[in-house]
Structure 1
Amino acid sequence: MSVSRKTVLIILAFFAIYVIWGSTYLLNKIAVTQLAPFFLSGVRFAVASVIIFIIAKSLKVSLYISKKQLLNTTISGFLFLTLGNGLAVVALQYIDSGFAALEIASQPLVVLIMMRILLGKRISTMSYIGVVLGFIGVFLLVSQKEIISKDGQILGMILIFACMLSWAYGSIFVGKADLPSNIFVNAGYQMLTGGIMLAIVSIFLGESWVLPNLWETDVKWSMLGLIIFGSIIAFTSFNFLLKEVSPEKVATNTYVNPIIALILGWWILDEHITLQSIIAAVVLLTGVYFINTKRTFKLKNIGR
């Protein structure tokens, strides 16, 4: 594959994780009003994995993976989907979709700190400034009296933080793990194993399983969007990027995701946006910018 073609794929993949993932907060918020969170996520990723495997077979791609790769895709599926996505959907039962996206905007901070602790990665002066601004932004966001006084808000914020920890560690793990080289096979096995584990958690928690013919129309459309766009397109793009650029660079999708989520939540769900939330967003995203400024895309294995 030539450098120019690889660059185009990277740009398209970034568009997918920037814009499409920004809309999934809204879609999950709509779907979780009727469906139990782990059941919702389990169906989403299990169905998406089947579709991805069908696409792979139609392209004559082998679905064979080694035992080690199966173990690694199971671990990453657990970190990204069972914990990372499952907990986020649970949190959306208690907090607004735009608020959840803003809190998750601090993920690059978590990735950077984890890389420092786990990999000994040096943190630049600009990144230190970004971390400070990021923590100030998060504090402004979660300290709002009108938010923390609502029932379930604190639980929702804690769940989102746990989701970020799992997703951040998963990003670092995937960047070093032995995984299938084909992005469809890689994403397919992650979603299959993650979906199965989500279903197991759903059964363990005694969640209600509702057949699709009983779903409301808006829930059906939301699930379709989550499967096709949020899972197959965006999650495959995410896994592709983790192998081509640094984890903290991939985490910059949080620049755009909260803006998309805030606008859609306000426009469609009539979610309230406070002035303090706007200020928090500006401070937080400025911090994320400082973390990633002066970094460049580092393409690996261009000729692969």
Structure 2
Amino acid sequence: MSDSTSRLHGLLFGAAGAVLFSAKAILAKFQYAYGPDSLDVLSLRMLFALPLFVVYGVLAARRLPPVRLSRRQWAVLWLIGLLGYYLSSLLDFWGLEYVPVSLERLILFLSPTFVLLIGALWFGRRVSAAQWLALAIGYAGLLLVLRENLRIEGEHVLFGSALILGAALSYALYLVFSGELIERLGTARLVLAAMTISTLAVLAHYLLLRDWSDLWRWPAEVYLWAAANALFCTFLPVTFTMAAVRRMGSGMASQLSIIGPVSLLFLGWWLLDEVITALQLLGTGVVLVAVLLLGRETARRGPATRKDAPATTPEPPRP
């Protein structure tokens, strides 16, 4: 395969992965229409997605040498599994009960700004003037979109936005702490381990609050949408993003994630009858430009992780 063909395939995989990751919110909204809440929807998503990742992880692990983790590395693995897949997903699905899908994806898109701030506050990394400017522009754009959504949707948007900001922060912590283990385990084994840990946490959470039979009392459409969410918006986007990184590098693949918020803005209008205004479009554009600028500056200066992640680091399943 020629370099140009490989790069084209990488672009297609990366774009498809970004759109499918974002469409998770659409399918969750479809499920909410039948009565389940965020904990029901998240539990079904994790249950249906885990077998796919187990098969993928086992097949990938056969090609990799065995590894042993220290006690500290096991602790970090459990930490990032709980942060990036359990807590972040829980807050995100809860927030989706209160905010339109376009606002949800835009807030999550600001995760790199949290990574930068964590690096500055926790690890003492210097933040350049260009990075501070990108942060200010990004949050100004978000405030513009949030103000417009408050006018259209009502004050419940503030509560949902706060939940999703918490999801973005939790996901950023996952990114910060995952660099060392990605290098040690490889992406496939890390995704499998983190998905397993998070699924156990989600199910434990569910069983502490509800009876197991409560999860199976919904109409068939709820389980069909859950299966579609697990396959098309969780498993396939991960494999597509990995394929994009292998073909074009992590820098270009990460820039394709900009397609996610844009696609969801129009998918929400088309499939959920969500309103699109000129101010929303302007604010979304400002946020996207800011995150792109931040990504370029951060790539030039190096990532803010506990141990800089290798260039093959893919984006894991989004919350």
Do residues 47 (structure 1) and 48 (structure 2) align? Answer: yes
Structure 2 partner of 1:261: 264
Matches within 5 A, 1:154-303: 154-177=158-181, 181-206=185-210, 209-211=214-216, 214-217=218-221, 219-235=222-238, 245=250, 252=255, 254-293=257-296, 295=299, 300=310
Shift of 1:174: 0.5
Q: Aligned in 2, Cα 1:9/1:75: closer, same or farther, shift over 3 Å?
A: farther
Shift of 1:90: 0.6
User: Residue by residue, what CA displacement relative to the aligned partner does 1:202-245 show, whole Å, maximum 9, x if unpaired?
Assistant: 23343883327x4343x33421222113222324566896xx74
Q: Aligned in 2, Cα 1:6/1:77: closer, same or farther, shift over 3 Å?
A: farther
Shift of 1:51: 2.3
Q: TM-score, normalised by structure 2?
A: 0.77
Shift of 1:261: 1.1
Task: Let me know the Cα RMSD of the aligned residues.
Answer: 3.6
Structure 2 partner of 1:28: 28
Structure 1 partner of 2:306: none
Shift of 1:116: 2.1
Task: State the alpha-carbon separation in 2 of the partners of residues 239 and 189 from structure 1.
Answer: 17
Q: Aligned in 2, Cα 1:148/1:250: closer, same or farther, shift over 3 Å?
A: farther
Task: State the alpha-carbon separation in 2 of the partners of residues 195 and 170 from structure 1.
Answer: 16
Q: Which moved more, 1:47-56 or 1:108-117?
A: 47-56
Q: Aligned in 2, Cα 1:109/1:178: closer, same or farther, shift over 3 Å?
A: closer
Q: Aligned in 2, Cα 1:229/1:27: closer, same or farther, shift over 3 Å?
A: same
User: Residue by residue, what CA displacement relative to the aligned partner does 1:81-119 show, whole Å, maximum 9, x if unpaired?
Assistant: 211111111111111111211222222222222222223
Task: State the alpha-carbon separation in 2 of the partners of residues 45 and 56 from structure 1.
Answer: 15
Task: State the alpha-carbon separation in 2 of the partners of residues 301 and 276 from structure 1.
Answer: 36
Contact 1:50 1:188 in 2 (8 A): no
Seq. identity, %: 19
Q: Which runs of 5+ in 1 are unaligned?
A: none
Task: State the alpha-carbon separation in 1 of the partners of residues 108 and 236 from structure 2.
Answer: 20
Q: Aligned in 2, Cα 1:15/1:129: closer, same or farther, shift over 3 Å?
A: same
Q: Which moved more, 1:8-17 or 1:21-30?
A: 8-17
Shift of 1:36: 2.7
Structure 1 partner of 2:99: 95
Q: Which runs of 5+ in 2 are unaligned?
A: 304-308, 313-319
Contact 1:103 1:160 in 2 (8 A): yes
Q: Aligned in 2, Cα 1:236/1:74: closer, same or farther, shift over 3 Å?
A: farther
Do residues 138 (structure 1) and 142 (structure 2) align? Answer: yes
Q: Aligned in 2, Cα 1:209/1:70: closer, same or farther, shift over 3 Å?
A: farther
Q: Aligned in 2, Cα 1:204/1:259: closer, same or farther, shift over 3 Å?
A: same
User: Residue by residue, what CA displacement relative to the aligned partner does 1:153-196 show, whole Å, maximum 9, x if unpaired?
Assistant: 22101101100110011111101336763433321221111011
